[in-house]
């Protein structure tokens, strides 16, 4: 009898042991699954953080269901996503990175001050000639600019200088006309790099007659622009030829802005003297329209300055904060006006869209669409000279 009770007691203990063991295993699996789902949600946020989704609401629909990601928690999660992006800057997966290709364009002189003086005097003479030749044709542009500077009208500014995409909306507090026109964006030249040119879509943006290789794509246009800014105007320029949309040997435009963000941060950390960032693109129009103008007797591709407003049709996008937004807008507007003052039809209206496009990195950050897929390589490279002139004028304005 005692033996039976003893065996029964052992059985109960053994049963209790297995109960605790299986409970622990199930609890561990639940925690592991919870952590996996949490990580998956955050990875999805990284994927869509700067993508083409129109709003956070659309993102919440993608993750709707039994998961814990709900609309009311979106702000917290996107803040965590921003932190994850910054953390990944320090710990990257090498096999998924583009091959970095960076060139420094030195202006070729140790005495930058005297070199810049010569350039400025020569350029002043050239500009006088251009003004004489285009006096009549530029009258319309000058009239539009004069009216804007006299009235400081926001409605006139938006009508004559911008195209607003349906994905965004206008915040009147940001579009203060006088402030955009008069913001000082000039800088004193130094012996250190001050301008960075990069290409978020360098691998996928070529021209109608492009041959294989970077120099016949938008990257080649960037090389021409860097050369002119360096040799003619005396700036120290870093040209980043990295194809940020080529990942693992394949074109992947979805993650290109995340990749170029990491690349730009790396360069700006190494060269903190850089104050101007130009993300140079080639536009895609999806038809057979070729947009050109004539500059100095040459058929030249048109340019379009582009701004991300970090704002959708409902209001500001909280996870895409940009403390430099107003300065970004001032920079592109002053560049557009500089083009209008010297060239009849070179710069199209500035395009406004909802996302950020890495423009928070610097005050003087601009995204430029130069030509489209129907332009030739020659037409695109011809645009580098007038664009460099406009950039120099804004940066040297007193």
**Best-predicted range by mean pLDDT among 57-61, 70-74, 367-371?**
367-371
In this prediction, residue 105 has a pLDDT band, given cuts at 50, 70 and 90, of low
Residue 337 contacts residue 247 (beta carbons within 8 Å):
no
Tokens of 82: 């921003």
Predicted confidence at residue 42, as pLDDT, reads 55
Q: Please state, rounded to an integer, the average pLDDT across all residues of the chain.
A: 81
Beta bridge partners, 396, equal: none
Percent of the chain with pLDDT over 70: 70
- Distance from C-alpha of 231 to C-alpha of 226, rounded to nearest angstrom: 9
The DSSP line for 146-168 is: HHHHHH--HHHHHHHHEEE-TT-
Higher-confidence residue of 8 and 143: namely 143
- Domain ranges within the chain, ordered by starting residue: 2-91, 98-396
Q: What is the DSSP letter of 136?
A: T
Q: Does the pLDDT value for residue 243 go beyond 60?
A: yes
Predicted confidence at residue 58, as pLDDT, reads 42
Beta bridge partners, 305, equal: 368
Q: Does the pLDDT value for residue 126 go beyond 90?
A: no
Stretch 122-136: mean pLDDT, rounded?
55
- Distance from C-alpha of 47 to C-alpha of 42, rounded to nearest angstrom: 9
- Distance from C-alpha of 250 to C-alpha of 244, rounded to nearest angstrom: 11
Stretch 330-356: mean pLDDT, rounded?
96
Percent of the chain with pLDDT over 90: 59
In this prediction, residue 15 has a pLDDT band, given cuts at 50, 70 and 90, of confident
| CATH-assigned architecture of domain 98-396 | 3-Layer(aba) Sandwich (3.40)
Predicted confidence at residue 295, as pLDDT, reads 95
């Amino acid at each position: 009898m005692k033996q039976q009770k003893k065996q029964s007691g052992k059985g109960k203990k053994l049963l209790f042991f297995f109960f605790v063991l299986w409970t622990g295993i199930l609890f561990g699996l639940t925690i592991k699954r919870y952590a996996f789902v949490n990580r998956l949600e955050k990875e999805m946020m990284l994927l869509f953080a700067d993508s083409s989704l129109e709003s956070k609401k659309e993102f919440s629909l993608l993750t709707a269901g039994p998961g814990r990601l709900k609309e009311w928690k979106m702000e917290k999660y996107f803040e965590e996503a921003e932190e994850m992006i910054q953390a990944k800057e320090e710990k990257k997966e090498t096999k998924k990175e583009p091959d970095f290709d960076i060139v420094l364009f030195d202006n070729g002189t140790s005495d930058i001050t005297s070199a810049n003086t010569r350039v400025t005097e020569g350029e002043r003479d050239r500009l006088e000639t251009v003004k004489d030749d285009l006096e009549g044709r530029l009258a319309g542009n000058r009239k539009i600019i004069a009216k804007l500077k006299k009235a400081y009208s926001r409605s006139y500014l938006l009508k004559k200088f911008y195209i607003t995409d349906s994905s965004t909306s206008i915040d009147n507090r940001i579009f203060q006309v006088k402030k955009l026109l008069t913001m000082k964006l000039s800088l004193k030249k130094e012996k250190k790099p001050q301008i960075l040119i990069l290409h978020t879509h360098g691998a996928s943006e070529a021209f109608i007659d492009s041959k294989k290789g970077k120099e016949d794509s938008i990257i080649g246009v960037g090389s021409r622009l860097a050369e002119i800014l360096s040799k003619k105007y005396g700036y120290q320029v870093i040209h980043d030829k990295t194809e940020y949309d080529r990942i693992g040997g394949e074109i992947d435009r979805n993650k290109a802005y995340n990749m170029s963000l990491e690349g730009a941060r790396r360069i700006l950390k190494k060269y903190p003297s850089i104050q101007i960032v130009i993300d140079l693109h080639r536009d895609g129009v999806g038809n057979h329209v070729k947009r050109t103008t004539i500059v100095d007797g040459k058929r030249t591709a048109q340019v379009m300055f582009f701004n991300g407003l970090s704002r959708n049709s409902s209001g500001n996008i909280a996870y895409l904060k940009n403390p430099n937004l107003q300065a970004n807008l001032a920079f592109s507007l002053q560049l557009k006006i500089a083009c209008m003052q010297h060239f009849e039809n070179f710069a199209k209206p500035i395009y406004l869209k909802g996302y950020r496009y890495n423009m928070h990195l610097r005050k003087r950050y601009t995204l430029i669409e130069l030509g489209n897929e129907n332009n030739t390589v020659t037409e695109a490279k011809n645009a580098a000279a007038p664009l460099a002139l406009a950039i120099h004028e804004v940066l040297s304005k007193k």
